[in-house]
Structure 1
Amino acid sequence: MTSDTRAESPVPSGQVRLEVPASSANLGPGFDSIGMAIDLWDSVEVEIGGDQLLIECEGEGAAAVPRDRTHLVFRSMSVMWHGLGYATPSGVVLRCRNAIPHSRGLGSSAAAIVAGVTAAAALVGIDPNSATGRQLIGDVAGDLEGHPDNSSASVYGGITVSWANDDGNGWRTAQLTPHADLRAIAFVPDRQLATDEARAALPTNVGHGDAGRNSGRAGLLTHALTQDPSYLLPATREWLHQEQRRAAYPASMHLVDRLRSAGHAAVISGAGPTVLVLTTSGDQDTVLSYADEVWNPISRPIPDTGVRAHSRR
């Protein structure tokens, strides 16, 4: 996406309201490529008009987010408008109601980026529900996020497998239909962990043996998620990121160890520290019994749709 001769075109007056789902990325071996939407939604309203920026926030993380042009939703809107050839308007009202916990590994940053990119597109007349609109939103959000796993799940819903185009320009996503009996339970701790901190713990090189083992389990994971959940435990074994970051979230890894030793497919959600368990309806109560005062368990369905936009021009 590049700017063109419309670089100074004004964004038309209008309003858009949208909801963006949370997401869990990696799911074990699907590092930076496999994501899953979670039925926990941030709501955003944007109105163009006036001569100043007004940002209102409530809910999760509201006390910590900026109320100026550095707000992630606003920054993402600006990037999208610039790329489409529009000047960022001086008069913007942005209202955010956050339900996704911040810095817990549930895609709060990706959801904010998807919200901003989608709102910007809708306000200049691009249909975010069309195939071309979703592709554009997915490309820009993936670029801003740096990897497409969380953002693609928030854009498309369901389970997504994403990869970079061979020319390095843009992203592609395949949307998978979850098995009807698949359930996701997130154990969310009170503590936060910045994604940058978690990524700093990763090695720069991976051995061929580990890469081969990991790719085999990633292939099995897509089968387990969509066709046969009995394979979930071996399918969620990975070699690229969790053990390397154990020191960043020891309590989370202890819970993962306990759950996996009991036969449950537990993984670190995204960069952590949330623990995600992929299970079936018959095992939900057993998995939930592992919760204690440290963990806030969230048992949610997997929505089959991603970001939902409602425009008023």
Structure 2
Amino acid sequence: MTEILPAAPLVNASRFRAAHEGDWDRLERIITRMEKRSVGALDDEDILALPLLYRTTLSSLSVVRETSLDRALATYLERLCTRAYFQLYGVQTSPWRQLGAFFATGWPRAARSLWRETVFCIALMVAGTLAGYFLVHSDPAWFYALIPEDLAGGRTPTASAESLRNTLYDTGGEGALAAFATALYTHNSQVAIFAFALGFAFAVPTLLLVIYNGLSLGAMIAVFADKGLGVNFAGWLTIHGTTELLAVALAAAAGTRIGSAVAFPGREARSEAAVTAGREAATVMAGAVCMLLVAGILEGIGRQTVVSDALRFGIGGAALAGWLAYLYLPRRTGAA
């Protein structure tokens, strides 16, 4: 019986690449220029060559797939063809429309997809707050272990009730308020960014950061509550805290989603699972930064100029209701 040998490849990989690599490189340069700028950045020669280069690259991809020349080459050509297709046939939208779509549907949809992680992070924050309160209430020495002295700003267990009250109702000047708002916005943004970024380490540092923030909050509540200013401090905090703490919880939830994907990737590779989870997580993080900007304005200006406790609770409660309605109430997405 005659032995049947496997057929030799009909196409030589090195010769095939040498014959067509020039067209692929030119197409990639054109597409990259369009992605970074626009079609207006191309000259007439490139515009005329673009459709031909796209069809040539598609033909090359078909040959590579049929002959199994090189898996890495096939992946490269698939990505190049996808980018070219998007630039040739994709619907181009202006930055303003993309921004509008982000606020109208993108951010709320991403936030709703992370609702479990958000609830979990809020629960951890509440638990940390309760723990911090009871620790400092039972032994004020815990306050100095939880909050550095330079961050306490004089609001310590040894401060008098009068001095603590002054920190809640001191109106100050407009220049100081603007600087205060900027400083606090920067600080809060850093907290949220760290909570998001640390999610890549299996989310453990993110969750510890959430608990520590709760401990710090509980310690501050205990200081004011022990001086009979618990309700006053709650109003002082509510006007901006509802927005700020929800933003931190959303950022932590985004980090937790990525960390969970890295720790439990399922059938995907860890890198692929992280990229998939990172798309929605990054959208939520971008929205959280916007919330922190609003919180910084409320904290630096509204909290200092509004001295009525009832009005502070009203503004903070309305802000929380507005965020929850905006992010979580179902809405129409329009026709497909």
Q: Shorter-normalised TM-score: what interval? A: under 0.3
The TM-score, its normalising length taken from structure 2, stands at 0.23
Instruction: Compare CA radii of gyration and give the structure with the larger one.
Output: 2
- Please identify which structure carries the higher strand content: 1
Which has the bigger relative contact order, CA under 8 A and spacing at least 6?
1
TM-score normalized with structure 1 length? 0.24
More helix by proportion, 1 or 2? 2
